[in-house]
A and B are shown apart, each in its own frame.
Chain A
Amino acid sequence: SAVISQKPSRDICQRGTSLTIQCQVDSQVTMMFWYRQQPGQSLTLIATANQGSEATYESGFVIDKFPISRPNLTFSTLTVSNMSPEDSSIYLCSASPNGAQYFGPGTRLLVL
């Protein structure tokens, strides 16, 4: 299994501001994934972050809104930019070190 940690665990932010979420994996992984889970819904993939290249974004998500960094094989950040109340959600980091795919504890974001 993999141990994945995220910071912050939760935050309350004002609209128009930005929040950067950090994700740390306890082993080196090629790909890290960022998901969003809105209230009462399932998980939606935002983007895939590969070390040494630009992130790949899913339909409906763009780099200007969700810039991602992947400076090494164990760490990634997701920024939620120019936030609006519609961005209130749980943001989850995920990695697949050995075939199975694991999730971090999530970051609960509330935008006022």
Chain B
Amino acid sequence: GQNIDQPTEMTATEGAIVQINCTYQTSGFNGLFWYQQHAGEAPTFLSYNVLDGLEEKGRFSSFLSRSKGYSYLLLKELQMKDSASYLCAVRSLLTGTASKLTFGTGTRLQVTL
């Protein structure tokens, strides 16, 4: 089976930096994804890590350590519009070319003034 853990809620101040952690246990690991989801909307793709290391994309960065089953999403220069849920998801290979994306419960981030 798969197990994905991330904090339920976090609060941070506008302009600050926040790190959202995600730990996972899975077989057939084939990538870790981060999504942003505003209330009432569909998830929006943020990042995808398949190799160890840091992927930077503007104000958002994502890190992966496969040996530790650990990832984090780093948000810099926080803005009020960054208040949303952040979903960690792990893709695992099944048989052949089939794969499956399993989601954590999400971290609700509240950005305050």
Given known A-B contacts A99-B48, A102-B45, A48 and B105 have beta carbons under 8 A apart: no
Contact residues of A between 11 and 48, Cβ < 8 Å to B: 30-31, 33, 41-45, 48
Known: A56-B98, A99-B31, A100-B48. A106 touches B42 (CB 8 A): yes
A42-B87, A42-B106, A43-B87 given; A101·B42 CB < 8 A = no
Verify B99–A31 contact, CB threshold 8 A. Answer: yes
Cα of A43 to Cα of B85 in the assembled complex, Å = 12
Interface size class of B (residues with CB under 8 A): 20 to 34
Beyond A42-B87, A42-B105, is A31–B98 a contact (Cβ under 8 Å)? yes
A90 to B43 alpha-carbon distance, docked (Å): 12
- For the complex with contacts A41-B105, A103-B45, 13 further pairs of A-B residues with Cβ separation under 8 Å are A42-B106, A43-B87, A48-B100, A99-B31, A100-B33, A101-B33, A101-B48, A101-B89, A101-B91, A102-B45, A103-B35, A103-B42, A106-B42
Q: Could you list 22 A-B pairs, sorted by A, with CB under 8 Å?
A: A30-B97, A33-B101, A42-B87, A43-B43, A43-B89, A48-B98, A48-B100, A92-B42, A94-B101, A99-B48, A100-B48, A101-B45, A101-B89, A101-B91, A101-B101, A103-B35, A103-B42, A103-B43, A103-B45, A104-B42, A105-B42, A106-B42
Residues of B within 8 A of A (CB): 31, 33, 35, 41-45, 48, 50, 87, 89, 91, 97-106
Which residues does A use to contact B, with CB under 8 Å? 1, 30-31, 33, 41-45, 48, 50, 56, 90, 92, 94, 96, 99-106
